[in-house]
Structure 1
Amino acid sequence: MKIAIRADGGLQIGMGHIMRSLVLAKELKKNNNDVFYVCKQSSLLPEKYEAGINKVKEQGFDVIIINEGDIFAELSKIQADCLITDSYDVNEEYFNIIKKYFKFTGYIDDMNLYYFNVDFIINQNIGAEEWKYKVNKGTKLLLGTDYTMLREEFRRVKDKFIDERIHNIMITVGASDFNGITNKICDYLKELHFKFHVIVGPCFTKENIYELMKLSEKNKNIELHFHADMIKIMNECDICISACGSTLYELASCGIPTIGLIVADNQKKIGEKLNQLKVIKNLGFYQKISKKKLCETIKDLDRNIEKRQEMSKKSMEIVDGKGVNRIVSYLEYINNN
């Protein structure tokens, strides 16, 4: 099947849509599907979507560039059997129009904002199976952590050994950090005795990177990681401070006790649900998190190995690593029937 994936990434919108759709794209390609991307380009700000386009090309996929001001006319020219959209730049009109251009259409969702005139919806998030979607009678709903799309290295991970005390802490807020959340966290925690492994994403601003480098030079317990090997760092760390996005599922697969920060509205339900299940300790929206609260949470986990062991065990139970295979199997089924 010839499959087009409509997604963007960049400095302001982050790389979440690109990163999770790439997991699906690679698995589809492995199963002999012809997969390519359709990405927007801005005539006013050519660098706006550059990071996303470059990442897709680096992973070996062709990219068709469309003008962000004339999306429908551009999409009508795309030759594919199936269009999968992973973007917030959509509405009901979008789904109604693209339905005319492709044999199958699907949407990767995490907000449930519209009536979806599509053939299938993928929502990989915890608790999504409880949501009431407005869809056509025949629309297939692929919902919940049975459909979580994990990168290949996170699909077969051994149980996590939980040390008596915490020594190494990972900090990650995503590929972009327009609001300087990483800088704020590091400034809060720099005086603690732990070693901090800080992930610097490809879309961090130059100003924030410069400030982080200065902070790291002054505080030897802060180590910056560029082009990070995420699974290696996760396995080396005792706990993680993470945004409540897709990275939570990778951390869960590794059994890493995690302190969650909500850095975008679409992360609220994920953070709250995983906190309710005692998989993570969710501190809420990053703007409201104080130095005292963050430090106390880390110290509490440091003193409480039983709590960390429970978090690790529960986290490894929520994902089985087969989510993307289930999605690919469904797409093969609809193509053959």
Structure 2
Amino acid sequence: MSPNAVLLIRADAAPHMGTGHVMRCLALAQAARREGLDVHMICRLGVDWLRERLAREDIPLHCLPDMPPVAEAPDSLLRQLQAASLPVPGTAAAPIWVVLDGYHFDTACQLAVMRAGYRLLVIDDYAHLPEYHCDVLLNQNISAELLTYQGNIGRKLLGLDYVLLRQEFRDAHKRAQMRIRPQRPLNILVTLGGGNFIEYLEKIAAEMTLPEMTGHSVRIIQGAMNTERIRAAFARGPARLEVLPRVDDMPSLLLDTDLCITAGGSTCWELCCLGVPFLTILGAENQRHICYWLAEKGYAPRFSRVAFMAMLTDAQYCRHMVARLDQLVDAQGAARVLAPCKQLKA
């Protein structure tokens, strides 16, 4: 990308799909703005707090109506990219890049974007399409290089070197290294993403209803879940419960967390960056490899009552995990994603 290149980021969020696609794209948008690119985010936002979160960024936001479809129609996608306020190929010497992040953008969408004259960066998680057609393919997950990607792909960026962490996590990394942790975890956070995953949460609550939780604090990031059902799920437990309807400063919350229970998505890499021990919940098929790899390599166990009790009561076990987590990711992934794109001319 040249200094005057344009980056059009296309990602959506909704209760049934969560907010992870948009939030990791925000990390890429922040990095692109630092390098002087003209960045636009084009999103369907079915989660109210996320709309407010993006509005605080110095990044133009183009909100689309309705909820994300099962499959985006290629002609509809091109109309979204070619709105009156957005540049189109052929109108400037600088390249115009499109970023597609979402499982509803299929091979037909990729081909339509490429044929319209855009450069294309596709963000993927588990090689779910039979073919990919793009200038750059990004999969930031563990062992992504073991997946088989077919199609016309210019360059593949695979693995944890390319993890997309937002600016606030880059800023919080040094604070995390200076943090003094309690002997045993007192503040426990449960975060399952921005969608409605109440059934998973109710199962977690049942396993956490233990006398050993007396004197502990449990915080739940609400997402799109019903407050009363959350409170009912934890009503029998002795821990103090706090439901967080929204989180404006996720790094600070994680720095005040001694143990986290999380879905196996991008939050895992944020926890690694800040050295917070965690257990994973398999909330979607695309998270399976992440959850199993983290458990197999000893970075983060799968959540169960036995695993939770081990981390709750064994101080040495928790300290050992914290010491390892910082080895997995750093805060430079977004810059590494942009680097190869700069080499491609208009």
TM-score w.r.t. length of structure 1:
0.84
Q: Distance in 2 between matches of 1:248 and 1:257?
A: 10
**Cα distance, 1:38 vs. partner?**
2.5
Which of 195, 214, 229 pairs up with 1:211?
229
| CA spacing shift, 1:36–1:281, aligned 2, 3 Å | same
**What secondary structure does 1:334 align onto?**
coil
**Alpha-carbon contact 2:144-2:158 (below 8 Å) kept:** yes
Confirm whether residue 176 of structure 1 aligns to residue 178 of structure 2: no
Determine if contact 1:10/1:52 at 8 Å carries over to the other structure: no
Match of 2:329 in 1: 319
Identity %: 23
SS at match of 2:30: helix
User: Offset of 1:211 from its aligned partner?
Assistant: 2.7
Deviation at residue 97 of structure 1 after TM alignment: 1.8
Q: Does residue 334 in structure 1 map to residue 344 in structure 2?
A: yes
Q: Secondary structure at 2:220's aligned position in 1?
A: strand
Amino acid at match of 2:185: I
CA separation in 2, counterparts of 1:122 and 1:142? 5
What's the RMSD between the two structures over aligned residues?
Answer: 2.6
Shift of 1:278: 0.7
Task: Write the letter of the residue equivalent to 2:276.
Answer: I
Match for residue 114 of structure 2 among 99, 108, 111:
99
Shift of 1:63: 0.6
Q: What is the match of residue 10 of structure 2? A: 6
Write out aligned runs for 1:148-187 (5 A). Answer: 148-155=163-170, 156-157=173-174, 158-159=176-177, 161-187=180-206
Give how far 1:186 is off.
Answer: 3.1
1:53–1:74 Cα change, 3 Å? farther
**Could you say which residue in structure 2 is the equivalent of 1:199?**
220
User: Quick one: distance in 2 between partners of 1:237 and 1:49?
Assistant: 25
2:62 matched residue in structure 1: 63
Q: Deviations over 1:276-301 (max 9, x none)?
A: 21110113xxxxxxxxx42x322212
Question: Structure 1: which 5+ runs fail to align?
Answer: 41-46, 284-292
| Amino acid in structure 2 at the alignment position of 1:19 | M
TM-score (norm 2): 0.82
Counterpart selection for 1:84 from 72, 77, 99: 99
More displaced stretch, 220-229 vs 237-246:
220-229
Structure 1 counterpart SS, 2:104 = coil
Give the Cα–Cα distance (whole angstroms) in 2 for the partners of residues 36 and 118 of structure 1: 19
Q: Deviations over 1:76-112 (max 9, x none)?
A: 3423411110011022222222211133111100010
Secondary structure, aligned partner of 2:341: helix
- Structure 2: 5+ residue stretches without partners: 89-95
Which is further off, 83-92 or 155-164? Answer: 155-164
The answer (yes or no) to whether the contact 2:258–2:276 under 8 Å persists in 1 is yes
Residue deviations 1:115-167 (CA, integer Å, cap 9, x gap): 1110011111111122222132x611111110001122222333354533222
Instruction: Report the residue type matching 1:198 in the other structure.
Output: R
Is the contact between residue 136 and residue 154 of structure 2 (CA under 8 Å) also seen in structure 1?
Answer: yes
Q: For each residue in 1:196-239, what CA deviation from the matched residue of structure 2 results, as whole angstroms up to 9, or x when unmatched?
A: 332334x414xx21233466788661122232232222222221
Which SS does the other structure have where 1:280 is aligned?
coil
Counterparts of 1:166 and 1:55 in 2: how far apart (Å)?
A: 29
Runs of 4+ in 1 over 4 A off after TM superposition: 47-55, 66-70, 213-220
**How does 1:1-337 map onto structure 2 within 5 Å?**
1-40=5-44, 48=46, 55-60=53-58, 61-63=60-62, 65=64, 71-77=73-79, 78=82, 79-80=87-88, 81-114=96-129, 115-136=131-152, 139-155=154-170, 156-157=173-174, 158-159=176-177, 161-191=180-210, 192-201=213-222, 203-205=223-225, 208-213=226-231, 221-228=240-247, 229-283=249-303, 293-294=304-305, 296-335=306-345
Name the CA shift for 1:173/1:133 in 2 (closer, same or farther; >3 Å): same
Larger mean Cα displacement after TM superposition, 271-280 or 97-106: 97-106
Question: Are the structure 2 counterparts of residues 177 and 12 from structure 1 closer, same or farther at C-alpha, using a change threshold of 3 Å?
Answer: same
